[in-house]
Amino acid sequence: MTGGVLAGAVEPAAGSDGHTHEQACLNCGTTLIGSHCHRCGQAAHVHRTLSAFFHDLLHGVFHFEGKIWRTIPLLAWKPGELTRRYIDGQRASFVSPIALFLFFVFLMFATVSSLAHFSTTDQVKRGMLEDAAKTERQIADTQKERAAAIAAHRPTAAIDARIKELEGDARLSRSIGEKGVVAGAATRAADDVPEFLREPLAKVSDNPALFFYKLKSSAYKYSWALIPISVPFLWLLFPFSRRFRLYDHTVFVTYSLCFMSLLATLATLWNASGIGGAGLLVFAPPVHMYRQLRGAYSLGWFGALWRTAVLTVVAGMAMVLFVVALVGLGLFD
């Protein structure tokens, strides 16, 4: 007990308040000369109490929350100003583009997975079987026309082509109706693709649920790939510009994708509410692109307008490339 009292008298803070009092940095070992390590920046005093842990947790949450409530309004209403201010160096006031992107992508996938409702497999199958039966009736009528043409010694090339087309449609509809959309389409496609694709398509036909799971998993895991896919297209709108560099375009693209992810989340919530009118959100992306282009690159209305038109097409192309890559991963993974 006497030893404990003496130790407390010599160093009363050691072990009693949860702080450590080190002569060297606990992170890199550098001799300390102040309240923070001058080499790595870590604080000299490291908290080791439960209350300190929750203090750090709350500080992190509210620090991020404070930034995000400054960032989201600008992202929605003044995306060009947000982009330009961040590029010009105002980093402490806003959430970084990549951190915001990862947050919104997580939020989007969580919301879509929980709330989005699509046509059930049984409904699709019934519809496709009905289409197949309708097409088969058309084939029967067309074959009667062919028989009449033969009896009248008229050419049947056009009728034969029509019958062949209808038979292909009927096979596809019936295959989807019996096996499901993905499995049926894969079975039909396997007849017309190179040899190296037939085995992967056969696997999709046998287990479409696994293929969908791979697609969803890859889309979440590689969503960041949309950034490098999109940046070169945006660079082409400002070729060889000395004022705007690839960093500027990368920040622009990432904040734009943040908004699109947020918009997809809102559209899902709106649609799930049953209010209706969620389709109006389709006009939001081009308006947002226009405002962001005009503010971030200091463009006039005409320069921003034609670049918005091009960028809308480019965004579709980037998404197609991304989806093709996902399908490829799903087929050959």
In this predicted model, which residue has the larger pLDDT, 221 or 257? 257
The confidence score (pLDDT) of residue 182 equals: 54
For the chain, what are the domain ranges?
15-63, 121-206, 222-332
- Tens digit of pLDDT for each residue in 152-209? 888 888 888 888 888 877 777 776 666 655 554 555 555 555 666 666 666 766 666 7
Query: CA–CA separation, 239 vs 315, rounded Å?
Result: 18
Using the predicted structure, report yes or no on whether residue 138 has a pLDDT greater than 70: yes
Query: CA–CA separation, 246 vs 237, rounded Å?
Result: 12
DSSP summary character for residue 43: B
The confidence score (pLDDT) of residue 64 equals: 65
Using the predicted structure, report yes or no on whether residue 103 has a pLDDT greater than 80: yes
Query: CA–CA separation, 174 vs 184, rounded Å?
Result: 8
80: left (phi over 0), alpha (psi -120 to 50) or beta: alpha
The confidence score (pLDDT) of residue 9 equals: 41
Across the chain, mean pLDDT equals 80
* Residues contacting residue 47 through CB under 8 Å, at least 6 positions apart: 18, 19, 53, 55, 56
Neighbours of 156 (CB within 10 A): 15
Q: Which amino acid is it at 332?
A: F
Query: CA–CA separation, 3 vs 5, rounded Å?
Result: 5
Q: Beta partners for 24?
A: 31
Q: Which of 46-50, 69-73, 243-247, 306-310 has the least mean pLDDT?
A: 46-50
Mean pLDDT of all residues in 306-318: 94
- Tens digit of pLDDT for each residue in 110-130? 888 777 655 445 566 677 777
In this predicted model, which residue has the larger pLDDT, 2 or 101? 101
Query: Which of 147-151, 212-216, 263-267 holds the top average pLDDT?
Result: 263-267
The confidence score (pLDDT) of residue 227 equals: 95
